[in-house]
Chains A and B, each alone.
Chain A
Amino acid sequence: AQKVTQAQTEISVVEKEDVTLDCVYETRDTTYYLFWYKQPPSGELVFLIRRNSFDEQNEISGRYSWNFQKSTSSFNFTITASQVVDSAVYFCALSEATGNQFYFGTGTSLTVIP
């Protein structure tokens, strides 16, 4: 079963628009961790944020914000006032305290049009 689902394969927005990338996860563990990564055209995955299952506080970092809701098993990522440099593939990932690997979603390709 897919542990991390990113239903949006591709998204295009015009510069300065806000955009939300969805992430739904599945786990039976009570202790788990959620991550977002950005993959620019160069290919390397860049870490953006980590959240543990006991901390549902939303987080804001500049133009980026994350909404973690255990009730809906979602960890959505919003970019405010998007810029061309935000164009990339974004991955959501999950790890479990009882596990030994990271589970990645299939990624969302974001294109910001100038």
Chain B
Amino acid sequence: DGGITQSPKYLFRKEGQNVTLSCEQNLNHDAMYWYRQDPGQGLRLIYYSQIVNDFQKGDIAEGYSVSREKKESFPLTVTSAQKNPTAFYLCASSPPGRLNTEAFFGQGTRLTVV
């Protein structure tokens, strides 16, 4: 089945550690996005990529990094510079340059700092 797969579903990180969240899609979409969700704040854009080997910062990129080496994959690294990383992270994709089409979402990764 076509879709977006995020892993792991739950992730625990010690303070000072970097962690990487996986996002894979088999929808043949060029555009991919990472959102962070905190209670009462909706979805905030971290990074997005419109094409392989290119990505742009969103509204809250500080403390995060991404790569886009393959069309299917858009991993997000939460670095130790991110001071408050505990949140729910959602990955999404959409067809290229066509924001008239809805974005498709993965099931999310819940990151907790312990």
Contacts and interface: CB of A to CB of B under 8 A. Distances in A.
A41 to B, nearest CB: 11
Interface in A28-57: 33, 35, 37, 42-45, 47, 50, 52
Interface string B24-62: 000000000101000011110100101000001010000
Say whether chain B's binding surface is mostly helix, strand, loop, or mixed. strand
B100 interface: yes
Interface in A92-114: 95-97, 99-102, 104-107
Contacts of A45: 90, 92, 105
A105 B41 CA distance: 8
Give chain B's interface residue range (CB within 8 Å of chain A). 20 to 34
Say whether chain A's binding surface is mostly helix, strand, loop, or mixed. loop
B45 A106 contact: no
Interface residues of A, number: 24
A47 B33 contact: no
Contacts of B41: 106
Nearest to A52: B100
A99 B101 contact: no
Nearest to A49: B102
B100 A33 contact: yes
A52 B101 CA distance: 10
Contacts of B45: 101-102
Interface of B: 33, 35, 40-43, 45, 48, 50, 56, 58, 88, 90, 92, 94, 99-108, 110
